[in-house]
Structure 1
Amino acid sequence: MTLEPRRKPQQERSSRVVDRILDAALVLIRKQGTKAPTTLAIAQRAGLSVGSIYQYYPNKQAIILDLARNWLAVFPTLIAARVQAPATVATFRRALHDYLDEIAHHYLDSANLMPVLEAITLDPGLKHIILEYDEKNIALYAAWLCKINPELPLEDATRLGHVMMEVGHIALTIAVRKNHRTFDLIKNDLETMWLALLLPHLDLPDPCSSG
């Protein structure tokens, strides 16, 4: 089964059509839960003909896969924005809190995509899509930590970034299945875990305190 888009949009009009297709698919997934919407349902929701859909995607699976790619692509952008921000331990605490708020809502808004991502992870032919984003996110986490503490070895920063990513994904995947109160509690627990993990590596000794 072909899962790649038939063609990439080259013009603004084509991009708008693809956006309509993906937006419609995401709305239907949110409504229907884990059941993938049909190509006909996506076309009707988008106000397009089925033929228009097939100009860009060979099947509904390819649409869902593109949605997963778009979902994954949010994380490098959000982390990279923090890497560019002022880097101190104090600003890191606030930046981490704000970042966690953003990604938590990203999970919550697309909770029904989680089974799709799990399926991709288990598919040997598709797993590389997840891994590419994982590696990018880990590298950006490491860059963020190294900017705050230039003395932190890259190997350690990379290991910490890997733990942040894995623990964060597991915690938020669990959280989206709970009620809103439990979701918020798990999000707060995750922030506590991240800070406990990271601060010992970022809080540099004060040279003025040595006697």
Structure 2
Amino acid sequence: MDEADITEAGANQPDLAGLRRAPSQKRSRERVERMLTAASDVIAEQGSDAMRMGEVAERAGVSIGSLYQYFPDKGSIIRTLADRYNTLGRDCIEAELADVSDADGFRAAFGGLIDTYYELFLAEPVMRDIWSGTQADKQLRDIDLVYGRVNGEILARALKRVRPDVDPVEIDRTAFLVMSLGEAAMRLAISVGREEGDGLVEAYKQMVLGKLLSM
């Protein structure tokens, strides 16, 4: 999934986490999109720690006052971008698992999802930067937790179709844990060398599939 996909997905979501106020008119929405694009460029080039509100406003072609109308600080920009990536991930998970009805289909769909997520983490410097700082920011952790639960519910629905014989409470609990651990696995994989990271992702995938399909 490339930057155009992310921008298009985010443009259809007016109520973004971190916004001081939601843009109601097309012109305002376009202005906010320019701000987020500018912020993404800065983060990709310099990292979020180096991002400055003045530079974001300058690159977006807006006044600093206009930027502050929507984003009170750089943390709110980062949380909005995090929400955007999380929403994109949720939609991807939902689409991939929607038609799963048997163990073989689940194995293929889940394995493909993990590979896609890993490639996204590797390919998107903004995504890597945001997720690397999640544990140090309570609001980002809260966003992460919300989406972990949502993604766990999506996974649980697919599992219940595949394993109708298993206690649904156990499925719900396990699915939530699997999706939450998946984020941690991705962060670990991108913090080491590529060869080791590939091996860690594959180990996570096999470990999870073995657990989910043998409950």
TM-score by length of structure 1 reads 0.82
Q: Conserved in 1, the CA contact under 8 Å of 2:90 and 2:151?
A: yes
Q: 2:181 is matched with which residue?
A: 167
Q: 1:208 is matched with which residue?
A: none
Change (3 A) 1:49 1:70: same
Deviations 1:69-93 (A, max 9, x none): 2222223212211332142111112
Q: 1:114 is matched with which residue?
A: 131
Deviates more, 1:190-199 or 1:180-189: 180-189
Pair 1:49 & 2:66 matched: no
1:194 partner amino acid? V
| Cα deviation, residue 128, structure 1 | 3.7
Q: 1:17 is matched with which residue?
A: 31
Q: What SS does the corresponding residue of 2:188 show, helix, strand or coil?
A: helix
Q: What SS does the corresponding residue of 1:7 show, helix, strand or coil?
A: coil
Q: 2:89 is matched with which residue?
A: 75
Q: What SS does the corresponding residue of 1:35 show, helix, strand or coil?
A: helix
Q: 2:155 is matched with which residue?
A: 141
| Cα deviation, residue 36, structure 1 | 4.3
Cα distance in 1 for residues equivalent to 2:87 and 2:154: 13
Cα distance in 1 for residues equivalent to 2:197 and 2:60: 31
Length, aligned pairs only: 196
Q: Conserved in 1, the CA contact under 8 Å of 2:152 and 2:172?
A: yes
Runs of 4+ in structure 1 off by over 6 angstroms are none
Cα distance in 2 for residues equivalent to 1:53 and 1:139: 36
Cα distance in 2 for residues equivalent to 1:11 and 1:187: 43
Q: Conserved in 2, the CA contact under 8 Å of 1:142 and 1:157?
A: yes
Q: What SS does the corresponding residue of 2:133 show, helix, strand or coil?
A: helix
Higher Cα radius of gyration: 1
| Cα deviation, residue 158, structure 1 | 1.2
Deviations 1:13-42 (A, max 9, x none): 322222221222122222223514010111
TM-score by length of structure 2 reads 0.81
2:203 partner amino acid? D
Cα distance in 1 for residues equivalent to 2:179 and 2:107: 17
| Cα deviation, residue 188, structure 1 | 1.5
* 108, 112, 115: which one aligns with 1:98: 112
What root-mean-square deviation, in Å, do the aligned CA atoms of Structure 1 and Structure 2 show? 2.1
Q: 1:38 is matched with which residue?
A: 52
Cα distance in 2 for residues equivalent to 1:137 and 1:82: 12
2:166 partner amino acid? L
Unpaired runs of 5+ in structure 1? 202-211
Q: How much identity, in percent, do the aligned residues show?
A: 29
